[in-house]
Chains A and B, each alone.
Chain A
Amino acid sequence: MDYDEFRLQVSPDLTAAGQWRLELLECPIAALVGQKGVTTAAFTPQQLARMRSAQAWPDLATLQAAGNAIWQSLMTPTVEAAFEAARIISRNAHRGLRLIVVSNGEESAVLPGRIRLAELPIEALHHNVSSFLATDEETPVSRSFQARADAAPVAITFPLRVLVVVATPDDKPPANAAQEKLAITQALQPFSDEGLIHVEFCEPGTPERLAEKLRDSFHVLHFIGHGGVQITGDDPTPRAHLCFVNAITGRTHALDAATLDVRLRNSGVHLVVITGCATAQPVPAGPHDDGAFVFSGVAQRLVAGISDVTAAVAMQFDLEAPAAELFSREFYHHLLSGEGLLDEAVTAARKSLATANGLGHRCWVTPTVHWRCMEGRVFDFRATRAVLDDDKIRQLGELQTMIAFVRKKLDRIANLPPEAQPFLVDIRAETEAELDEFNQRRALLLGQSLRLTGGRTTVDRELACRLTLRLLTPGRIEQVTVRLRYPEERLESLGAIGGNGAAGAAPAIAAIGPGAFQAVILRPSQGAVWAAGEHELGMFRFRVRPATPPGSLDVRLDQPEVERDGAAEATRTQDAIIFVLQPPG
């Protein structure tokens, strides 16, 4: 499903403790964007305690009452009216409406009888007409810290590489590590058999072993274990940590979110999933320790931090063993088999939890999504599922990491003022050459591939992206079909022209939705046999829209189909990067 966004920012009012200010940042009805007044938390610490309690979690009526209180806490009459209007507009356009709650700032102190903004379980939002929003795929609910999504989906080739850490320190309630491992293995086995996912375990769950495993590139880190919070130094904000295992003592080695964030930098991990030990009893709550709530704290820090993590799924309450297993299976299933939309996958998993355990069970409220991803995707899964050996996958992962690092450098250069740009010629050229080299190495590993090349430009200027086909062996190419996806709010498509290398006509293009079109190149080699090497198929023209900020934009290739010597052949893709420079002053 395609989605519109209803992005609601909530900021603690620094002069009036307990009050939150609301601002609608994004809405399908642009005129409704803006300040939406002040609200007070109607959801009480008692309701929160009830939801957190492992023994006395609520029934349907109590959960509805809690959801209504959360609704009152966020949905002032003006916000509610905007949300309902937006929902109608989206529904009429056959689109979903994604509700993203953005936290801006933190309370320095909390009044007795009030909760912190970060503690509000927005996933339980309930309205007497709309019921529980978060269980409806039309209205997924998630969290962010960014006023705008700013992380483009990362293109990856199957399999999705998942590193699972099962950490069961001796000083925490006992858990059965073998059973944990078995549960996650069983949950992911069907996808593993299809070559869609590759799971490795980090054993033992020590920080040292984690660092060692992270040398091989992974896309997802799935942590199963305990968490905690502690006050650090002069900072009154409790800081969340995950309980890894101390290699010597077997006891807890607390790895705080900031340290984990540093560990995950340039590791290739973009998604972190944190679930509690399904086989362990919940940790008794300490003064700042609210059970699984801390996972949410770690998730927030990772997504807002300096690593490449752009999304985190974490549990805000303890999740029981069968529910944890069901969640993992449903979540990965929907992530891999659907459009790859993260909140949609979590919503589908919520729905399964609600179906299996009843709508009054808090388990479906438990998963939270913290993210900063554009288009609702962490990953852009490449359609080609041809098998690569482990070594090539590892090398590809490393190259992906280095490409991301070099891209950050180029973004930084592009962000410098226009007066500086003429003085950056050497370092920019050197860095672009570095990116090109990494891409060439990636192409060599990928084998036969379609490649789209971008370039540098400024706003309101045109740029042609060159599409080429790289052949490992000579062949006659009958037809090439591929989809191009581009950020429509930043780029305008101006059509296609024939390539220098292709004897055929210009690619035929047909729009397939906002920011996407399909291109077909008929008989590019005109019946001749093309030699091994790179052959130009066509050029796609784009113009950078006004007000586009400096930085990089991706134009992605999707669903490639190459008919060669009378048969369809597996082909991988390499996307284009367009660098938007500051316009000359």
Chain B
Amino acid sequence: MIPSRIGNLWRTLRIWCLFDRLTMAEYQETIWHFGFDSKERTPVLQLFASEDSMFREGTARPDEEHRFEIPPSLRVNESTSNRSRDRIWNGDEAQEMARRLWENLPLSVRDTLKARRLKSETSLRVRISSDWPEASDLPWELLLHPVFWIPPGKPWLNLTRSVPVRVSPSPTRVSLPLKMLLVLTNPKDERLLDSHAEINAVTQSLSHESYHWEVCHEPTVEALQDALRRVQPQIVHYIGHSGVGHGEGNLILHDSQDRTRWLDAETVSRALPPTVKLLCLSTCFSARNYQILGLLRFAMASVAATLPSIVVNQSAVSETTVRKFWGAFYHSLIEDAGDASMALSQGHRAAREAQPHLADWASFALVLRERSSIVFEPISQIQELTNVFKEFGDPRVDLQARLAADFANDLAEQVRSLGTDVSPALATQLSVEVDRAQRYEARAKAEREVAASSKTFLQ
């Protein structure tokens, strides 16, 4: 028992140290929000110090100081649609796109970034949110290109996408091995995938100690719902096609005749059990995706869809990159205590180093749909609190805190978009919802502390 206890203690300390280091000390966070100047009908970039300030100050009346125009060369019109996403980006092409992105940022933003990157002791964490699909469609991850590293060899920027939320419960503790459901779709009226190769590329590096995975082959919606209910996974990894309908992303599953059935974010969200803390949306490499943009649009769906945080492909990827990225990502997710942002960086690095002449590593984006990039806190079996926790993954108070936060976030998003036009009834209800979410979160936190101290005592 002694080694286990020491191991657990070490891991717990490490989790807390990492959490503290990542969120408090090492990163300074900035929100880039792309909205509209409602008078001029031009897109504008607004900077916020935090998501709190974004909700407090509101985005309906954007500050005109920072204007941002989408570089025309990065726009994709109907005739070239998907072509740039459908091919694997090579190094030169990616560097050129990255340069154009950088040069089209407002000067003041660039100056801030330059000043920041010269301070080598502090990295900058940028979260990009948008009310405007044209901005969120851009390949912002290319700003992580090594060409921007100063000094050379030292990354200084941490960049994620974000669907801002008003309140966010603390990360849930989940026991190892994490339960993962791999969903591979292959509708017969679509370009067919090599199922074996696709699954193998994602799972080959997974450790059985850390992950227990199950593959849901070519499910209908009903079969997927059954599998989700039975497995109660913490991670759902989708591999397959996507499509854009009415401007919004859809995953493409099967109907009862093995033909396509499009599923939007809200439908998928209703099917996901509350145990799911991370959704990974992989494009297929063994066949061209129907409309790969559908994956990114799906991941950026409105907060009303109440999806978990999502790792998503925005452009085509090679098999090698898929193997390297997911191997490093899933390894880091455990090692770095559930920090999806850190895991994304590790995945980018591994893929970049494996094929330096390509830039398909930048295809992988993280869309955070909660405040913290720590999507869960992995703990070993011996630290499980109760059987309920084991079976369901969420103690009572955690689940209620999560639900209350979802309700508050749903309403907060609407109130944010309405700005001063919000009706008094909605504004009052939002206060009620936020108070409730904070109350449940406080209860959850208190009970987690009690449970943790009881466990320490028992051990």
Interface residues, chain A, with chain B CB atoms under 8 Å away:
11, 13-16, 21, 23, 35, 104-106, 108, 207-208, 211-212, 214-215, 231-239, 246-248, 253-254, 257-259, 262-263, 265-266, 300-301, 304, 306, 398, 401-402, 405, 409, 412-413, 415-417, 419-420, 422-424, 426-427, 430, 434
CB-CB under 8 A for A420 and B262, given A105-B243, A207-B38: no
Tally of chain B residues near chain A (CB < 8 A):
73
Which interface residue of A211, A253, A300 has the most chain B CB atoms within 10 A? Answer: A211
> Whole-angstrom distance between the alpha carbons of A106 and B134 in the complex?
20
* Interchain CB contact under 8 A, B245 and A233: no
* Interchain CB contact under 8 A, A231 and B77: yes
> Whole-angstrom distance between the alpha carbons of A424 and B396 in the complex?
7
- Give the residues in chain B near A265, CB-CB below 8 Å: 304, 414
* A433 → B minimal CB distance (Å): 12
8 Å CB contact of B260 from A105, A234, A263, A301: A105
* Interchain CB contact under 8 A, A215 and B421: yes
* B76 → A minimal CB distance (Å): 5
- Give the residues in chain B near A215, CB-CB below 8 Å: 421-424
* Interchain CB contact under 8 A, A14 and B414: no
- Give the residues in chain A near B244, CB-CB below 8 Å: 106, 235-237
Contact sample, A vs B, 7 pairs, CB 8 Å cutoff: A11-B259, A248-B39, A265-B304, A306-B266, A398-B425, A417-B273, A427-B404
- Give the residues in chain A near B133, CB-CB below 8 Å: 232-233, 235
8 Å CB contact of B39 from A232, A246, A257, A415: A246
CB-CB under 8 A for A419 and B392, given A234-B85, A300-B246: yes
Q: Is B391 among interface residues, defined by CB-CB distance under 8 A?
A: yes
* Interchain CB contact under 8 A, A423 and B394: yes
CB-CB under 8 A for A304 and B246, given A15-B189, A233-B76: yes
CB-CB under 8 A for A420 and B399, given A237-B244, A401-B425: yes
* Interchain CB contact under 8 A, B440 and A427: yes
* Interchain CB contact under 8 A, B423 and A398: yes
- Give the residues in chain B near A430, CB-CB below 8 Å: 436
8 Å CB contact of B245 from A16, A105, A420: A105
**Closest A-chain residue to B422, C-beta based?**
A215
- Give the residues in chain B near A253, CB-CB below 8 Å: 38, 41
**Closest A-chain residue to B415, C-beta based?**
A266
* Interchain CB contact under 8 A, B247 and A237: yes
> Whole-angstrom distance between the alpha carbons of A307 and B134 in the complex?
22
**Closest A-chain residue to B265, C-beta based?**
A306
- Give the residues in chain B near A248, CB-CB below 8 Å: 39
- Give the residues in chain A near B414, CB-CB below 8 Å: 262, 265-266
* A255 → B minimal CB distance (Å): 10
- Give the residues in chain B near A108, CB-CB below 8 Å: 82, 243, 290-291
- Give the residues in chain A near B31, CB-CB below 8 Å: none
8 Å CB contact of A417 from B41, B229, B261, B395: B229
- Give the residues in chain A near B424, CB-CB below 8 Å: 215
8 Å CB contact of B302 from A233, A306, A405: A306
- Give the residues in chain B near A11, CB-CB below 8 Å: 259-260
* Interchain CB contact under 8 A, A233 and B134: yes
Tell me whether chain B's interface is mostly helix, strand or loop, or mixed: mixed
Tell me whether chain A's interface is mostly helix, strand or loop, or mixed: mixed
CB-CB under 8 A for A236 and B82, given A105-B243, A108-B291, A246-B41: yes
- Give the residues in chain B near A413, CB-CB below 8 Å: 403
- Give the residues in chain A near B264, CB-CB below 8 Å: 304
**Closest B-chain residue to A238, C-beta based?**
B78
8 Å CB contact of A424 from B247, B255, B273, B400: B400
* Interchain CB contact under 8 A, A234 and B302: no
- By Cβ-Cβ distance, the 8 closest A-B pairs, closest first, are A211-B421, A233-B134, A236-B81, A423-B396, A233-B137, A215-B423, A234-B137, A398-B425
* Interchain CB contact under 8 A, B426 and A266: yes
Q: Is B87 among interface residues, defined by CB-CB distance under 8 A?
A: no
**Closest B-chain residue to A211, C-beta based?**
B421
- Give the residues in chain A near B432, CB-CB below 8 Å: 434
- Binary flags per residue of B244-262, CB closer than 8 Å to A gives 1, else 0: 1111101000010101111
Q: Is B28 among interface residues, defined by CB-CB distance under 8 A?
A: no
Q: Is B207 among interface residues, defined by CB-CB distance under 8 A?
A: no
Contacts beyond the supplied A215-B422, A246-B39: 6 A-B pairs with Cβ under 8 Å = A14-B189, A104-B262, A235-B293, A235-B297, A402-B425, A416-B403
* Interchain CB contact under 8 A, A424 and B246: no
- Binary flags per residue of B132-164, CB closer than 8 Å to A gives 1, else 0: 011111000000000000000000000000000
- Give the residues in chain A near B259, CB-CB below 8 Å: 11, 21
> Whole-angstrom distance between the alpha carbons of A413 and B248 in the complex?
26
> Whole-angstrom distance between the alpha carbons of A85 and B411 in the complex?
48
Q: Is B407 among interface residues, defined by CB-CB distance under 8 A?
A: yes
* A228 → B minimal CB distance (Å): 13
